[in-house]
């Protein structure tokens, strides 16, 4: 009995030493080595693809943000966000584009609350952009998985052109060209879906409107 | 290009890449676990630990080493989370509560990586890299080690010896998992994944709001998360987060990583038993089930049944624009059938029937192709069952790879296949009978039941994905799911190693005209049939209450 207890104790100590050594290899050396290489070769990407405009950091090209009007009452937490008609609008977000609270609605595809949310979003997007509901694309009325999806579909960008041009004093052709320039196809031609980066598009829009 | 054509190309590219890599990688892994030589770094590790890598272990000694290593892993990871607030680089996060720390420790040590916490809002740099990332490596290496021990049981005769656990653990980590992870992590950073040890980065957006950009050693963890079929994301959104999975290319790379070792291990098996065709029969069974799953889920998601998806014009709720339905479906099937559990889209919002296919993929026992190591040993157990069934049909004592499948062997295999169904069904039943089950549901009715069933299926099969609307961070669920993960991981290992020991002791019987040819397509068909019948009979009633009721009702 005593020998089996001391055997078990010896085995557990050996296991602990093994775990500590492997922690050094995989938990310290490995991430530090990868970080070193990543910071040396891909400094901007490794640090979050931060986008600067006019020398100031304004976001990350991989993290979506909201494009709402300033709150009427900054102290009112329940005040509904109002999208700013001047900007291209992103997809609905489960967390108002807070990067510290990523994740989706988790509602099932036939859930009545999701049906209502889609119905409301469809009506709002159609009205806001002055298009019939039948032209509103699926990504405009569904929440993304991450809640910080930086992209919209080219179709969703297209139905916003008319409104954005009007609000910024630009012609539709100018804005349509901007959208075309900022539409990325599938990666390598066949991976994923075509998409438009909202932050980059809006920054280009701001430059165009200023000039 | 139409989305469907793009998806066909995407799946084709993935299959071609796996077909090209599985032979050299499988042969390499066979050489790693057969070699007599130790690398210099390995010798240093053995010396500092005081382990003798050349001492052969019988099955019971091998099992004791596995359990001892896993026990101290649970303990250390638990302690690390409980004291993370006083360690450096805490990012200001508090210590994790006892029940959640137990759940997370059980989860990462059992290669499940179920997460009842939200990474960006709970775990410090030290916990993520020195705790969670370490288990990503070593829990995967433990899985490979146990699979290799079972393969040695088939390959060896008249000995009870199955190799040395410490050597298998260290070799799997140092020679297989670390090198591939380094390359994969750097490619992921090149694609846009982040890799830094900074603090939370605050900036002011164009509209004047403050935005907090998360930091983290993400790419390095992402690589092993998928390569080791772990699945625990750095962030709550997991592989849907653009910092983990920035574009279509990183997405396909991620899927490749999580499939590559499970699909290559049958080659390793074939090499080690001296007949690569035996490996082909196994990989064909894995590939068939996986491919049918991919086609089914992709088809259902494009058809987008479900009232909300119909109204929206597509099943994009809980999916990212840069991936779309196709790349999300491919990811979902690959992650549920490999016991990975990382997600690039949220399965809770998939249509009811797709959710059912994903559930079924896990219920099959994570063997098509399954987790690293666990997929191979799960499939070999099913192969034992399949030759037994075939033996019953023709009335002769079954044999597999020259080893007789007698009473002892079939009892061990039968115990193996009973464990996870028992955990899943008993766990779900208990949760539903108590108020806790209903309180945790985000959805109501059949879909709500699916959330609970999915949670226990995912935990017991060591998958780790979730119908994430399920509010799992309660003491009840943290504890019961934690127990399911540990029992679902380590009880099967007991039977696998006992079986390996029993096989290794046998004297091989020569093949005769009456021997079932287990390297032929007929056997692959028999194997797939056995898997579907066993799983179907076990889980059909539960599936009928959840996803089938929802899918047919909408």
Contact B322 A139 (CB under 8 A): no
Q: Which of B5, B120, B345 sits opposite A100 (nearest CB)?
A: B120
β-strand pairing of B403-404 with B399-400: antiparallel
Three-state SS annotation for B347-400:
HHHCCHHHHHHHHHHHHCCCCCCCCCCHHHHHHHHHHHHHHHHHHHHHCCCCEE
Q: What's the gap in Å between the CA of A181 and the closest CA on chain B?
A: 17
Q: Which of B73, B220, B242 sits opposite A19 (nearest CB)?
A: B73
Are residues A57 and A33 located together in one domain of the fold? no
Question: What is the pLDDT at residue A79?
Answer: 81
Contact A109 B6 (CB under 8 A): no
Are residues A161 and A125 located together in one domain of the fold? yes
- What are the tokens at B520? 């032929």
CB atoms within 10 A of CB B13: 15
Nearest chain B alpha carbon to A121: B312
**Mutate which: A6, A89, A111, vs B, most B CBs within 10 A:** A111
Question: What is the pLDDT at residue B438?
Answer: 80
Are residues A14 and A66 located together in one domain of the fold? no
CA angle B274, B277, B282 (to 5 degrees): 110
Contacts (Cβ under 8 Å, ≥6 apart) of A58: A51, A52, A199, A203, B203, B204, B205, B206
Q: Which of A8, A109, A188 sits opposite B317 (nearest CB)?
A: A109
Contact A53 B49 (CB under 8 A): no
The answer to whether residues B374 and B366 touch, using CB atoms and an 8 Å cutoff, is: yes
Are residues A158 and A92 located together in one domain of the fold? yes
The answer to whether residues B330 and B14 touch, using CB atoms and an 8 Å cutoff, is: yes
Does A76 map to a domain? no
Are residues A13 and A54 located together in one domain of the fold? no
Are residues A85 and A39 located together in one domain of the fold? no
Give how many domains chain A has, as a whole number: 2
Residue B56 dihedral angles phi and psi, to the nearest 5°: -70, 145
- What are the tokens at B458? 């995912």
Closest residue by Cα to residue B3 from B250, B323, B292, B315: B323
Are residues A109 and A199 located together in one domain of the fold? yes
- What are the tokens at B356? 């059912």
Are residues A64 and A30 located together in one domain of the fold? no
Tell me the chain B residues in contact with residue A188 when contact means C-beta distances shorter than 8 Å.
248-249
Question: What is the pLDDT at residue B309?
Answer: 95
Tell me the chain B residues in contact with residue A149 when contact means C-beta distances shorter than 8 Å.
242, 320-322
The answer to whether residues B166 and B49 touch, using CB atoms and an 8 Å cutoff, is: yes
pLDDT score of B281 more than 90: yes
Does A166 map to a domain? yes
Give the whole-angstrom CA distance, residue B113 versus residue B143: 14
Q: What's the gap in Å between the CA of B40 and the closest CA on chain A?
A: 14
The answer to whether residues B278 and B401 touch, using CB atoms and an 8 Å cutoff, is: yes
pLDDT over 70, % of chain B:
100
Residue-wise burial string across B152-188, b where 16 or more C-beta atoms lie within 10 A, e elsewhere: bbbbbeeebbbbbbbbbbbbbbbbbbbebbbebbbbb
Nearest chain B alpha carbon to A12: B68
CB pairs under 8 A between A and B: 380
Give the whole-angstrom CA distance, residue A49 versus residue A64: 12
Interface predicted TM-score (ipTM): 0.95
Does A62 map to a domain? yes
Are residues A98 and A188 located together in one domain of the fold? yes
Are residues A171 and A131 located together in one domain of the fold? yes
Nearest chain B alpha carbon to A190: B6
Tens digit of pLDDT for each residue in B72-109? 999 999 999 999 999 888 888 899 999 999 999 999 99
User: Binning pLDDT at 50, 70 and 90, where does residue B437 land?
Assistant: confident
pLDDT below 50 — which residues of chain A?
A: 1
Q: pTM (2 decimals)?
A: 0.95
pLDDT score of B450 more than 60: yes
Tens digit of pLDDT for each residue in B109-122? 999 999 988 877 78
Question: What is the pLDDT at residue B554?
Answer: 62
Contact A191 B305 (CB under 8 A): no
Residue A23 belongs to domain spanning: 2-44
Q: How many residues does chain B have?
A: 554
Round the average pLDDT of chain B to a whole number and report it: 94
Contact B133 A91 (CB under 8 A): no
**Mutate which: B53, B193, B322, B448, vs A, most A CBs within 10 A:** B322
User: Binning pLDDT at 50, 70 and 90, where does residue B142 land?
Assistant: very high
Q: Which of A25, A102, A118 sits opposite B312 (nearest CB)?
A: A118
- What are the tokens at B115? 């997460």
Are residues A26 and A86 located together in one domain of the fold? no
Tell me the chain B residues in contact with residue A205 when contact means C-beta distances shorter than 8 Å.
none
Tell me the chain B residues in contact with residue A153 when contact means C-beta distances shorter than 8 Å.
321
Say whether B404 sits in a helix, a strand or coil. Answer: strand
Contact B189 A45 (CB under 8 A): yes
The answer to whether residues B235 and B241 touch, using CB atoms and an 8 Å cutoff, is: yes
Question: What is the pLDDT at residue B61?
Answer: 96
pLDDT score of B308 more than 90: yes
Question: What is the pLDDT at residue B440?
Answer: 83
Residue-wise burial string across B244-281, b where 16 or more C-beta atoms lie within 10 A, e elsewhere: bbbbbbbbbbbbbbbbbbbbbbbbbbbbbbeebebbbb
Tens digit of pLDDT for each residue in B9-59? 999 999 999 999 999 999 999 999 999 999 999 999 999 999 999 999 999
Are residues A201 and A106 located together in one domain of the fold? yes
Question: What is the pLDDT at residue B191?
Answer: 97
pLDDT over 90, % of chain B:
83
């Amino acid at each position: 009995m005593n020998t089996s207890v001391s055997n078990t104790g010896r085995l557990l100590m050996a296991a602990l030493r093994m775990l500590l050594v492997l922690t050094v290899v995989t938990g310290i050396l490995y991430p530090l080595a990868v970080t070193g290489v990543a910071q040396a070769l891909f400094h901007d990407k490794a640090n979050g693809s931060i986008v600067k405009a006019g020398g100031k950091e304004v976001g990350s090209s991989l993290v979506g943000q909201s494009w709402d009007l300033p709150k009427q009452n900054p102290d009112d937490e329940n005040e509904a966000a109002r999208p700013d008609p001047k900007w291209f609008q992103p997809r609905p977000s489960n967390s108002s584009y807070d990067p510290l609270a990523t994740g989706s609605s988790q509602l099932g595809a036939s859930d009545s609350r999701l049906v209502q949310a889609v119905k409301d979003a469809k009506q709002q997007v159609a009205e806001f952009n002055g298009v019939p509901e039948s032209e509103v694309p699926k990504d405009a009325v569904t929440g993304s998985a991450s809640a910080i999806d930086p992209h919209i579909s080219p179709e969703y960008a297209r139905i916003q052109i008319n409104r954005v041009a009007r609000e910024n004093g630009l012609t539709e052709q100018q804005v349509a060209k901007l959208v075309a320039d900022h539409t990325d196809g599938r990666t390598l031609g066949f991976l994923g879906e075509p998409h438009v980066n909202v932050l980059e598009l809006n920054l280009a829009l701001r430059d165009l409107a200023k000039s | 290009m139409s989305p469907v054509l793009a998806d066909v190309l995407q799946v084709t590219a993935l299959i071609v890449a796996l077909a090209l890599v599985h032979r050299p990688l499988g042969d390499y892994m066979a050489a790693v676990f057969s070699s007599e030589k130790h690398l210099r770094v390995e010798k240093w590790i053995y010396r500092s630990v005081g382990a003798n890598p050349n001492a052969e272990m019988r099955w019971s000694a091998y099992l004791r080493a596995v359990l001892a290593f896993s026990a101290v892993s649970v303990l250390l990871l638990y302690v690390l989370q409980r004291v993370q607030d006083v360690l450096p680089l805490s990012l200001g996060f508090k210590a994790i509560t006892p029940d959640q720390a137990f759940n997370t420790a059980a989860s990462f040590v059992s290669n499940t990586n179920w997460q009842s916490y939200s990474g960006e809002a709970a775990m410090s740099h030290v916990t993520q890299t020195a705790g969670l990332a370490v288990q990503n490596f070593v829990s995967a290496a433990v899985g490979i080690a146990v699979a290799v021990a079972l393969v040695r049981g088939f390959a060896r005769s008249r000995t009870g010896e199955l190799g040395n656990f410490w050597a298998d653990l260290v070799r799997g980590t140092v020679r297989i998992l670390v090198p591939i992870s380094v390359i994969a992590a750097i490619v992921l950073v090149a694609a846009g994944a982040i890799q830094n040890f900074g603090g939370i980065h605050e900036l002011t957006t164009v509209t004047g709001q403050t935005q907090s950009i998360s930091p983290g050693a993400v790419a390095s963890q992402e690589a092993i998360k998928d390569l080791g079929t772990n699945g625990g994301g750095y962030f709550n959104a997991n592989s849907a987060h653009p910092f983990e999975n920035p574009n279509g290319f990183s997405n396909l790379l991620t899927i490749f990583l999580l499939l590559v070792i499970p699909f290559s291990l049958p080659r390793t098996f074939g090499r080690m038993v001296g007949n690569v065709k035996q490996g082909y029969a196994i990989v064909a069974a894995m590939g068939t089930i996986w491919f049918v799953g991919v086609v089914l889920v992709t088809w259902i998601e494009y058809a987008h049944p479900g009232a909300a998806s119909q109204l929206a014009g597509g099943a994009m709720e809980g999916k990212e624009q840069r991936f779309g339905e196709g790349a999300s479906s491919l990811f979902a099937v690959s992650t549920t059938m490999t016991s990975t559990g990382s997600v690039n889209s949220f399965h809770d919002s998939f249509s009811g029937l797709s959710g059912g296919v994903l559930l079924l993929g896990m219920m099959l026992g994570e063997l098509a192709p399954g987790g690293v190591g666990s997929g191979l040993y799960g499939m070999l157990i099913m192969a034992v069952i399949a030759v037994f069934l075939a033996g019953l049909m023709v009335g002769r004592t079954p044999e597999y790879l020259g080893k007789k499948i007698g009473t002892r062997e079939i009892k061990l295999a039968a115990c193996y296949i009973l464990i996870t169904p028992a955990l899943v069904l008993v766990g779900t039943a208990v949760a539903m009978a108590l108020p806790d089950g209903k309180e945790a549901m985000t959805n109501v009715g059949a879909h709500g039941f699916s959330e609970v069933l999915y949670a226990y299926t995912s935990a017991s099969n060591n998958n780790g994905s979730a119908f994430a609307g399920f509010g799992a961070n309660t003491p009840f669920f943290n504890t019961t799911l934690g127990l399911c993960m540990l029992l679902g991981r380590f009880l099967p290992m007991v039977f696998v190693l006992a079986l390996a020991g029993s096989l290794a002791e046998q004297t091989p019987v020569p093949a005769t005209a009456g021997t079932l040819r287990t390297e032929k397509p007929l056997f692959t068909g028999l194997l797939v049939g056995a898997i579907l019948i066993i799983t179907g009979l076990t889980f059909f009633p539960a599936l009928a209450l959840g996803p089938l009721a929802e899918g047919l009702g909408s």
